[in-house]
Amino acid sequence: MVIRTMVGSDLAGPDLYGREMRLWQSLGPTTYRLRSACLAALLALASVLVFLGAMTVVNQFGGVHYGQPARVVAGACQQIGPISRRGFGYWWECDAAVIASDGTARKVRVHSSGIVPEDQGSSVELRETCRTNGDVTDCSYGKPIGWLLHVGLGLIVCLGWLALAFGAAGVVMFLTRALLGAPRYLRFRGHVIRPRK
């Protein structure tokens, strides 16, 4: 009985069928579809704002907990923002040269204000973490942070991605309602959740 309730018409609240049909009849087809499209747009905006907010926190307090110490010489910097994949605000992305123990230099790009224009020409100690995928090695650089902050920031990243995933699912649902209208949407939803045998 519990399983049937969970996968039945009450999945999105009590009496989904009745509620949606009442809305369809009271608002009319055009207004119902417009309402569903507006809800999709608002949900998309909210989930993107939550994601960018999470990325802002992570890049504001982030760094590297694991990895090897790396000595880098800062070069030219470019400012990105006010909205980017790093979140809200302005961030520096700088060219740098990583100086190996044998004195050789390797050019890299340091993101999220790990180094800033004031560091240009000077040597800064960061941490380096590298991933190898086939013949390609991808390294990232950041200031050292503690393990507790590292775990907390990891959870915030997960919450940001969850907000995007649930937001995308909700947007698809509302756009499907807008496209099909309540009667066809509810029939479609019933077939998807309870396929005919």
Record the pTM: 0.73
Cα(52)–Cα(75) distance, rounded to whole angstroms? Answer: 28
d(C-alpha 36, C-alpha 31), whole Å: 9
pLDDT tens per residue across span 144-189: 888 898 899 999 999 999 999 999 999 999 999 999 888 888 888 7
State the DSSP string of 103-128. Answer: S-EEEEEE-TTSS-GGGTTSEEEEEE
Over residues 22-49, the pLDDT tens digits come to 888 888 999 999 999 999 999 999 999 9
> How far from chain centre, in Å, is Cα 162?
7
Question: In a 3-state reduction of DSSP, which class is residue 65?
Answer: coil
